[in-house]
Amino acid sequence: MNVLVTGADGFIGSHLTELLVREGYTVKALSQYNSFNYWGWLEDVDCRNDIEVLNGDIRDPHYCKHITKGVDTVFHLAALIAIPYSYVAPDSYVDTNIKGTLNVCQAALENGVTRVIHTSTSEVYGTAQYVPIDEKHPLQPQSPYSASKIGSDAIAMSFYNAFELPVTVARPFNTYGPRQSARAVIPTIITQIASGKKQIKLGDVSPTRDFNYVADTCRGFLALARADKAIGETVNIGSNFEISVGDTLNIIRELMASDVEFLTEEQRLRPGKSEVFRLWCDNTRIHDLTGFEPEYSIREGLAATVDWFTRPENLAKYKADIYNV
């Protein structure tokens, strides 16, 4: 089967690309065009010689039509995802996340693609009104990023309802692991400790999250792509386990044998009404549709993540002294 992964050069996309190759798929991997011929995290994957790397941009509808020819399944992960950056550049989130998804779906429809797995995010739920959060939970646009993803989810599902494009909206909760961006809290804490910091600058550590190791998230994507019953559905990918950011950081501190002190830095705090204080996934639907269950506990996943980030060749790729929005 021929598959296209948009956003393959990113954190989750690069891991999904590796999984698909291991599972025997023929993979086209889209990396955002740049003049340096730099492929992001695809530079580090163990299957570089087994994939076709494409350089382009989902904001171009003609390019999307070109790269979806001959493709059976599209895993659409390409997006702008940093919440802080969405406060200062919201227009770019509309262009990439909403219009880009429109372009991918239109191209998939015109080229007869038989499955589209569109990537959502648990951020669309906002702060939990009830827990655990199932797929019927109200959507709350608490940041321009989450608003753009609500819009992109709606665009994708409209192509199922209006044109019978076989779409599944995959809604992963907070994913972490090797290669994650330094803007996220887990890489921030690990890289600062590994760089010898005695005091760690953080935002609010009281919110809770349903953290998922990247290998589990990718298994969830693949399970949904293989389940015909998931067509036309929006499906959470999560662990059904809630933990505070502060408790997560304490596990990391323990795993790294560190006595580091945590400090709150003003610029890392979200605006008050924008902070999502509680996320906890109800993963009943994905289990019922596919039999999926996560394999990694929070401690096992964090241990694997610490191991990767603390290798000198990996740590050197991160700028622990700079706050990355």
Residue 117 has pLDDT above 70, yes or no: yes
Residue 172 has pLDDT above 90, yes or no: yes
State the pLDDT at residue 274.
Answer: 80
State the pLDDT at residue 270.
Answer: 66
**Mean pLDDT, residues 113-129:** 98
Say how far apart CA 109 and CA 106 lie, in whole Å: 5
Identify the domain containing residue 185 by its residue range.
177-209+241-288+297-315
State the pLDDT at residue 182.
Answer: 86
- CB-CB contact of 167 with 156 (8 Å): yes
48-54 LR contacts (CB < 8 Å, sep 24+):
50/21, 51/8, 51/17, 51/21, 51/27, 52/27, 52/28, 53/8, 53/29, 54/28, 54/29, 54/30
pLDDT digits (tens, 9 = 90+) for 48-58: 999 999 999 99
In a domain, 64, yes or no: yes
Residue 11 has pLDDT above 70, yes or no: yes
CATH number, domain of 84, equals 3.40.50.720
- Grade residue 181 by pLDDT with cuts at 50, 70 and 90: very high
State the pLDDT at residue 224.
Answer: 98
Query: In this predicted structure, which of 96-100, 144-148, 317-321 has the lowest mean pLDDT?
Result: 317-321
Question: Are 284 and 205 in the same domain?
Answer: yes
In a domain, 129, yes or no: yes
Residue showing tokens 């779409």: 167
Question: Are 66 and 189 in the same domain?
Answer: no
Question: Are 47 and 157 in the same domain?
Answer: yes
- CB-CB contact of 255 with 306 (8 Å): yes
CATH number, domain of 284, equals 3.90.25.10
Average pLDDT of the chain to the nearest whole number? 95
pLDDT digits (tens, 9 = 90+) for 242-253: 999 999 999 999
Question: Are 123 and 250 in the same domain?
Answer: no
Residue 265 has pLDDT above 80, yes or no: no
- Grade residue 168 by pLDDT with cuts at 50, 70 and 90: very high
pLDDT digits (tens, 9 = 90+) for 63-102: 999 999 999 999 999 999 999 999 999 999 999 999 999 9
Question: Peptide bond before 271: cis, by omega within 30 degrees of 0?
Answer: no
Question: Are 123 and 186 in the same domain?
Answer: no
Domain count, the chain: 2
State the pLDDT at residue 170.
Answer: 99
